[in-house]
């Protein structure tokens, strides 16, 4: 029973609580999180770690008047629970259900959409400047994790915010984890801070002692405070943030409600930018998550008693296939190196990291740096493979063009989570990469139809003398084989089925759907060809032109935006070969962000499943045949 929690529909319902009541509420929230997320899946560890932090924030500040901005946002479940959305948690991350991230369309308490890392301080500073320009009075609080703080954008914002006297509170939720273990100099610096005494208490004690010196005490405090070797240089554990222009408070125990409330109330009264360092434990209160925080970052439904997943699968994912292939290729080629941006487990590179630690580089949440770092390795004679999720690769667009493709450097981009990802929603769907990559000079873009083709493409790519990208989806790797299985030849696809009525040109994961469509069409007496394009750029122009001469209607299939994507490449080919009169229809997503839901649900909703495509092809084909018959 969550008797106290059941009475909470907004933060005002617990602002009169004493500390003991807040502690009871904290436990009830943890119990609810465990029960709920064990049934739906979701981001568990990070939310268990911020229960007291979130309650203290809502206790001390007045949302939505005061603006709480959650970096990434996967740790905002507690925030959602206490702002009236507890009863929606049975729909968490489901189609038309509660989002796993802050969403302005969902609640007035979600003041800024998040999903990617390192954005909260920039957004917070923007809110603060807007407040000052409008001569309004409210607090702005950006909550960022130590993993997100490794992102360069966070430091750009800190540098900008520290230059003035704008009132902005930045709270570092330091749980020593992002998704995988944090890396780099900043992580080491924060580790050292965790062992430091609380600066405020020491600083106050020293100032009180100096002030007691007759006659010169107050002036001595001012002088020493300004001096290069002053109090802060002797005592401040957060000197980095002080040098950036922030007043540093901490480290604070993120599970000690009285300490949190005291510091937040104090920060609320302070002038200028304030940086509060809060230490939390990821997975707090649930032993399996505390012991193995990576395993409970994003998790499916699980047994609450044991922590074991309810649904287990032995099928290899594309990430698994990629990781194993990298190890095999690394054994043959000592110049092969692997780079990830804080996602060794997610991208499947943990085995490569263990096998070849000196050739594995986790650069932290720093996609821009990862790409240019890879460019440097390539220029230095090595063969870098950069494994990044499709939605995160967006962040390194300039580096792909300027540092890799402009110099025609042999960098391999292994683009995981391409197409529909599912429950993480709009911010994580990988439906833009074909559009933002396929027009870049010198860059080759490929997509495999199944696991064996991924192995072949990766082998091909690591021996290719130029920039090349391979994109593949999340989840189980297709094992479906066809009678035709030709070797990879640059710029060429493979014909899987030959028909005379309809020509279907598919790329990547959509080849399997295309195969189902071909079989469906046979039932209606429509003979269809299916061409596995393999290459988006350069596209197999000759084969497409040949298909245009042999079929009544052409269709393209892609799990990307049609605008600028694969379908547009097919259309460009038809125009180039003066065949634009040939009836052609591209299947894909049209000028929209795709919400959360299971991949199957989303493909059906947007009519990209095999049955929906079959129905549309039949309708359009019959219309064309009717016009021909009547003409």
Segment 281-323, tens digit of pLDDT = 999 999 888 888 877 878 889 898 888 888 877 789 999 999 9
pLDDT (tens digit, 9 = 90+) per residue, 343-366? Answer: 999 999 999 999 999 999 999 999
Question: Of 29-38, 158-167, 186-195, where does mean pLDDT reach its minimum?
Answer: 186-195
DSSP lists the bridge partners of residue 430 as 419
In this predicted structure, what is the pLDDT of residue 209? 55
Q: State the pLDDT confidence band at 222, using cuts at 50, 70 and 90.
A: low
Average pLDDT of the segment spanning 150-165: 92
525 within 8 A of 475, measured Cβ to Cβ:
no
Average pLDDT score over residue span 183-187: 55
Rounded average pLDDT over 327-334: 98
19, 329, 526 from 332: Cα distances, Å: 61, 5, 47
Query: What is the C-alpha separation between 77 and 109, in angstroms, rounded?
Result: 12
Please, which contacts does 97-103 make with residues 24 or more away whose CB atoms are closer than 8 Å? Answer: 97/596, 99/425, 99/596, 100/42, 100/43, 100/73, 100/74, 100/423, 100/424, 100/425, 100/596, 101/72, 101/73, 101/74, 101/76, 101/424, 101/425, 101/427, 102/69, 102/70, 102/73, 102/76
- pLDDT band for position 488 (cuts 50, 70, 90): very high
Domain 494-630 coded CATH 3.20.20.190 = no
pLDDT value at residue 234 = 41
Distance from chain centroid for Cα 331: 31
pLDDT tops 60 at residue 430: yes
How many Å apart are CA 54 and CA 78, to the nearest integer?
7
Whether 196 shows a pLDDT value over 60: the answer reads: no
pLDDT value for 233: 46
Across the range 532-560, mean pLDDT stands at 98
Going from the C-alpha of 297 to that of each of 38, 49, 282, the distances in angstroms are: 13, 11, 9
- Alpha helix ranges (H) inside 71-119: 77-80
- Find out if CATH 3.40.50.11440 is the number for domain 318-471: no
Indicate the range of 39-43, 97-101, 300-304 predicted with least confidence.
Answer: 300-304
Residue 214 — pLDDT band, cuts 50, 70, 90? low
pLDDT at position 313 is 72
Q: How far apart are CA 453 and CA 521, in angstroms?
A: 26
Percent of the chain exceeding pLDDT 70 equals 88
Which pLDDT value is given to residue 232?
Answer: 43
Q: In what order do the strands lie in the sheet with 67-70?
A: 67-70, 140-145, 168-174, 273-279, 247-253
- pLDDT surpassing 90 at residue 202: no
Residue 182 Cα to chain centre, angstroms:
16
How many Å apart are CA 331 and CA 504, to the nearest integer? Answer: 39
Cβ–Cβ < 8 Å for 474, 509: no
**Rounded distance between C-alpha atoms, residue 601 and residue 439, angstroms:** 31
Residue 544, pLDDT score: 98
As annotated, the active-site residues are 282, 367, 395
What is the rounded average pLDDT for all residues in the chain?
A: 91
Distance, CA of 58 to chain centre:
26
CATH fold of 5-196+237-296, please? Rossmann fold (3.40.50)
Total Cβ atoms within 10 A of residue 401: 18
CA distances from 37 to 34, 43, 86, 536, 610 (A): 6, 8, 12, 39, 32
Displacement of CA 28 from its chain's centroid (Å)? 30
Query: What pLDDT is stored for residue 2 in this prediction?
Result: 66
Round to whole Å and give the CA distance between 208 and 464: 68
Reported confidence tier of residue 406, pLDDT bands at 50, 70, 90: very high
In the chain, domain spans: 5-196+237-296, 197-236, 318-471, 494-630
**Mean pLDDT value across residues 517-540:** 97
Question: Same topology for domains 5-196+237-296 and 318-471, yes or no?
Answer: yes
pLDDT at 379 over 50: yes
Of 436, 490, 440, 443, give the one whose Cα is nearest residue 467.
443
SS3 of 532, please? Answer: strand
User: Residue 221: pLDDT above 60?
Assistant: no
Asked if the model's pLDDT at residue 199 lies above 50, the reply is no
Closest by CA to 354, choosing from 338, 365, 341, 369, is: 338
- Residue-level pLDDT at 213: 60
pLDDT for the residue numbered 180: 52
């Amino acid at each position: 029973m969550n008797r106290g929690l059941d009475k909470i529909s907004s933060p005002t319902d617990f602002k009169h609580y004493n500390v003991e009541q807040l502690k009871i509420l904290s436990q009830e929230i943890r119990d609810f999180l465990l029960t709920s997320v064990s049934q739906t899946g979701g981001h568990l560890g990070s939310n268990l770690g911020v229960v007291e932090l979130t309650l203290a924030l809502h206790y001390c500040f007045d949302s939505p008047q005061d603006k709480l901005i959650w970096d990434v946002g996967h740790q905002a479940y507690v925030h959602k629970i206490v702002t009236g959305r507890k009863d929606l948690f049975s729909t968490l991350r489901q189609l038309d259900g509660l989002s796993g991230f802050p969403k302005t369309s969902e609640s007035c308490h979600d003041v800024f959409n998040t999903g990617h890392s390192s954005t909260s301080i920039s957004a917070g500073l923007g809110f603060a400047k807007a407040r000052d320009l409008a001569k309004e009075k409210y607090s702005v609080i950006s909550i960022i994790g130590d993993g997100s703080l490794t992102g360069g954008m966070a430091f750009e914002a800190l540098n900008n915010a520290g230059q003035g006297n704008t009132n902005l509170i930045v709270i570092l939720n330091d749980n020593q984890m992002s998704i995988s273990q944090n890396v780099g100099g900043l992580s080491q610096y924060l580790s050292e801070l965790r062992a430091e005494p609380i600066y405020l208490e020491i600083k106050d004690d020293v100032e009180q002692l100096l002030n007691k010196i007759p006659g010169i005490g107050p002036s001595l405090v001012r002088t020493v405070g300004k001096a290069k070797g002053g109090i802060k240089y002797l005592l401040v554990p957060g000197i980095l943030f002080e040098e950036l222009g922030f007043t540093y408070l901490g480290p604070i125990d993120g599970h000690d409600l009285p300490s949190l409330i005291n510091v937040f109330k104090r920060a609320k009264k302070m002038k200028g930018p304030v940086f509060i360092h809060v230490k939390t434990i990821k997975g707090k209160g649930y032993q399996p998550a505390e012991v193995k925080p990576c395993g409970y970052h994003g998790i499916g439904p699980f047994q609450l008693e044991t922590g074991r997943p309810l649904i287990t699968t032995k099928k290899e994912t594309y990430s698994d296939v990629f990781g194993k292939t990298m190890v095999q290729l690394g054994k043959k080629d000592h110049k092969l190196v692997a780079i990830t941006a804080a996602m060794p487990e997610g991208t499947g590179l943990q085995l490569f990291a263990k096998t070849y630690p000196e050739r594995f580089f986790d650069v932290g949440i720093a996609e821009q740096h990862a790409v240019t770092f890879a460019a440097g390795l390539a220029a230095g004679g090595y063969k870098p493979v950069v494994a990044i999720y499709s939605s995160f690769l967006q962040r390194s667009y300039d580096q792909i063009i300027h540092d890799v493709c402009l110099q025609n450097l042999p960098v391999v981009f292994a683009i995981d989570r391409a197409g529909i990802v599912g429950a993480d929603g709009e911010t994580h769907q990988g439906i833009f990469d074909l559009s933002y990559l396929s027009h870049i000079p010198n860059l080759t873009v490929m997509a495999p139809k199944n696991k064996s083709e991924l192995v072949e493409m990766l082998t091909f790519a690591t021996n290719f003398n130029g920039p090349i990208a391979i994109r593949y989806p999340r989840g189980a790797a297709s094992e479906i084989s066809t009678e035709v299985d030709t070797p990879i030849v640059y710029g060429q696809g493979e014909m899987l089925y030959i028909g005379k009525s309809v020509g279907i040109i598919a790329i990547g994961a959509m080849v399997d759907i295309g195969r189902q469509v071909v079989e469906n069409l046979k039932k209606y007496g429509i003979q269809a060809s299916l061409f596995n394009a393999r290459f988006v750029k350069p596209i197999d122009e000759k084969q497409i032109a040949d298909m245009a001469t042999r079929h009544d209607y052409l269709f393209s299939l892609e799990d990307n935006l049609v605008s600028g994507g694969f379908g547009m490449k097919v259309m460009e080919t038809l125009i180039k070969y003066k065949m634009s009169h040939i009836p052609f229809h591209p299947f894909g997503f049209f000028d929209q962000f795709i919400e959360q839901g299971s991949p199957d649900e989303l493909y059906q909703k947007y009519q990209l499943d095999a049955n929906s495509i079959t129905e549309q092809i039949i309708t359009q084909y019959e219309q064309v045949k009717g016009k021909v018959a009547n003409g």
